Amino acid sequence: MSGYITSRVLSALAIICFALAAADFFRERHGAFAIEQTPLFYCLFGFAVYIAVIFIARGLRRLTLRPEDYYGAEATDQEDERVAGTEEARNA
């Protein structure tokens, strides 16, 4: 059932996107620059920026990624294996 709903939603989204893209050919444009008057300019520009953000994020990830053991064995985010509410957890 979930796959059916997902495919219906994606199909509806695709139809809406194509309808809006087609409508762009029939409206009058008043852009500040000549390139803005090209049909589908904002669609293509948005897609190009989307792709650029992905590649920029991949590059930034390489700059900020740290090894898994960056903070060492004494990191404070290690999980406590004791079960909450047990005697062992209360005595700690």
38 burial level (CB within 10 Å; 0-12, 13-18, 19+): middle
pLDDT in tens, 19-78: 999 998 998 888 899 999 989 999 899 999 999 999 999 999 988 888 877 776 666 655
Predicted TM-score (pTM) of the model is 0.58
83/5 Cα distance (integer angstroms): 39
**pLDDT value, residue 69:** 75
- Tell me how crowded residue 75 is: count the other CB atoms within 10 A of its CB: 9
With beta carbons less than 8 A apart as the criterion, state whether 17 and 11 touch.
no
Enumerate residues 6+ apart whose C-beta is below 8 A from 42.
24, 36
